Structure 1
Amino acid sequence: MIAWLIALPVLVAAFAGTRRLLRRRDKAALRWVLAADAALFSGALALLLVALSGGAAQAHTATAAAQSSGSGSAALIGAAIAVAGASIGAAIAVAYTGAAAIAALSERPELFGRAMVIVGLAEGIAIYGLVVAIILIGKS
């Protein structure tokens, strides 16, 4: 958590600097952007190497924790997948049905009730994913 509190302002500053350089549209700006990208990539790679070389002590405690909560962690992963999949599916469904509903309402305003029912049914997919996640978490 502390690493994110330190890294987040650096990333925001790098992003703001990159946007400012891209507005200039010359070759020097492109070189600066590529240098900033290389620096961010090397920093991310260094952070990944530090995280992966945590040592045997962390691996032993993580293994012990995973063995003690075997089915609980599987249920949580399943709940996360259920919510994520249902939310993505609902987003796609609402995008298409919402666009079609707006198009239909522009021609015939009296279709408002029917259009909102269809969009609401598409949104119900996310609620089903949430119900499945609650059931899975309750079983862990």
Structure 2
Amino acid sequence: MKTFLRRHPWAAVLLAVLNVLLLTVTVALLISIVTADWGFAAGRPEVAAAGQADAAASGSALLGAAIAVAGSAIGAGVAVAYTGAAALAAMSERPELFGRAMVVVGLAEGIAIYGLIVAIILVGEAQ
């Protein structure tokens, strides 16, 4: 990657601009989700208070589920990157370590599954 950026200095600027754009879009979507009025019980004030409370609780649960999945997926990606690199290095020295190395990589992938289970529980409670 360093060689690529040395050969093409404009690529670093392009990557920085894309990262800022992605961050801006993400923050804008998050703000619009949190502050949105979903139009429940429009024109019915007696139901509006209960509907807004239910919608807010449901929206918070869904937002929590999204954060759980995103956080666990990022954590699993980082864990698999490090354990996978170490496993390949160990297997290049001693090929008989394949089974042990794959168990460690599989445990790192389990982090994402835990986040998915938490998200399923939160979505189930939201409905």
TM-score, normalisation: structure 2? 0.61
Gapped runs of 5+ residues in structure 2?
1-7, 11-16, 22-27, 41-50
The aligned residue for residue 134 of structure 1 is: 120
Q: 1:37-116 to 2 correspondence within 5 Å?
A: 62=37, 64-65=39-40, 67=52, 68-116=54-102
Counterpart amino acid of residue 84 in structure 1 = A
Give the RMSD, CA atoms, in angstroms. 3.2
The aligned residue for residue 47 of structure 2 is: none
Q: How many pairs were matched up?
A: 90
Match of 1:62, SS?
A: coil
Q: In the aligned structure 2, how far is the partner of 1:84 from the partner of 1:94?
A: 15
**Higher Rg:** 1
Runs of at least 4 residues of structure 1 off by over 6 A? none
The aligned residue for residue 14 of structure 2 is: none
CA shift, 1:70, in A, is 1.2
Q: In the aligned structure 2, how far is the partner of 1:99 from the partner of 1:63?
A: 46
Q: Deviations over 1:105-125 (max 9, x none)?
A: 000000000000000000000
Q: Which has the higher mean CA deviation after the structures are superposed, 66-75 or 107-116? A: 66-75
Counterpart amino acid of residue 95 in structure 2 = P
